[in-house]
Amino acid sequence: MYREIELLRGRPLLVYTTKYPGAPPKAPISITVEDVDGFTDLLGCVQGSEEVDVLIHSPGGSPEATERIVGLLRTTFKKVYFLVPHSAYSAATMLALSGNEIVLHPSATLGPIDPQVNGVPARSTQRGFNKVRDILREQGPEAIPAYAPLIEKLTLELLEICEDSLSLSKELAREWLTNYMFAGDESAAEKIETAIEFFSNYDQHKTHSRPFTFAKLEHLKLKIRLAEPALEQLLREAHILLMGYLSVTPFVKLYECAGGISWGTQFLSGPMVQPPGAPESTIGE
């Protein structure tokens, strides 16, 4: 399957996929610093190439870890293309935006890049604080008892973290779009700002997991397109095979390439027998 995609695309392929949805509670499916090791090993199977495709399926995770992965890819390859067969949300959307081009399966989606702090959208926390502040300003001290429990949760440190997280996601997306997708295109500045505002606008999207299909992204005029029929079929087949494998093994995350490297993260939530042919080198629980 991977070889077929490589032959069709004319460049090597790296695969980063997670068991999403359907992973057990607390399974390590997010993008974390441990993924740096996975991508480091994958780079060894595509030495000598200046271009690469990265097939990605992920709910997102740490922007800081994503920044390290982007650094790895960009110090190795002059051009990076992201293939999305199903979902690339949150920090995975940010990772895709670091590509020279994003190719989506017709059913695939990207998502908002507004960050979450302690599992809660940072902008939602800000809005909650602002709402309480306005109510207290209007109603006076007598309203404090009703809102005291909420006020106690909203520390100054938390609000600063929310503000910094919101700024970081925009800063990274702006840097990557400028340096890679629109490298050398000085006329793209307004287009980039429009895209960043769209992807980070929690007030507009109302939820961190809002799906952005190609139809919702087309107006941004980014280098995002739908896969042609042959690639569309291969992406769908690859996704089905990967999800099928993850459903019958203890693996919740895989790093693979056509060169034979295959390893991942295991998570055992109950008794499970590892089937023949499962990757031997693992990380995680």
For residue range 108-134, list pLDDT tens digits in order. Answer: 999 999 877 777 776 777 677 777 777
Query: Do 232 and 135 reside in the same domain of the chain?
Result: no
Return all residues near 265 (Cβ < 8 A) that are at least 6 apart.
28, 34, 251, 252, 253, 282, 283, 284, 285
The answer to whether residue 201 sits within a structural domain is: no
Rounded CA separation 197/81 (Å): 23
pLDDT of 115: 79
State which of 159, 190, 219 marks the end of a domain: 159
Query: Do 144 and 270 reside in the same domain of the chain?
Result: no
Query: Do 127 and 266 reside in the same domain of the chain?
Result: no
- The dihedrals phi and psi of 21, each to the nearest 5 degrees, come to -80, -175
**Residue range of the domain that includes 137:** 120-159
Cis geometry, peptide bond prior to residue 28 (ω within 30 degrees of 0): no
Two tokens, residue 278: 């499962």
Rounded CA separation 212/227 (Å): 16
CATH number at residue 278: 3.90.226
Helix and strand numbers (H, E) in the chain are: 11, 12
pLDDT of 280: 42
The answer to whether residue 220 sits within a structural domain is: yes
Query: Do 106 and 215 reside in the same domain of the chain?
Result: yes
The answer to whether residue 169 sits within a structural domain is: no
Nearest alpha-carbon partner for 52 in 85, 19, 83? 83
Query: Do 129 and 247 reside in the same domain of the chain?
Result: no
Query: Do 107 and 9 reside in the same domain of the chain?
Result: yes
Q: String of b and e for 13-48 (b: at least 16 CB within 10 Å)?
A: bbbbbbbbeebeeebbbbbbeebeebbeebbebbee
Query: Do 107 and 30 reside in the same domain of the chain?
Result: yes
Nearest alpha-carbon partner for 125 in 87, 154, 156, 96? 154
State which of 98, 132, 159 marks the end of a domain: 159
In this prediction, the residues of the chain whose per-residue pLDDT falls under 50 are: 272-273, 278-285
pLDDT of 39: 95
Query: Do 18 and 41 reside in the same domain of the chain?
Result: yes
Nearest alpha-carbon partner for 179 in 69, 100, 110? 100
Query: Do 126 and 245 reside in the same domain of the chain?
Result: no
- For the chain, the domain total comes to 2
Nearest alpha-carbon partner for 100 in 114, 121, 124, 83? 83
Query: Do 101 and 18 reside in the same domain of the chain?
Result: yes
Query: Do 259 and 234 reside in the same domain of the chain?
Result: yes
Other C-beta atoms within 10 Å of 187: how many?
7
Whole-angstrom CA distances from 28 to 91, 227, 284 are 15, 29, 8
Three-state secondary structure call for residue 142: helix
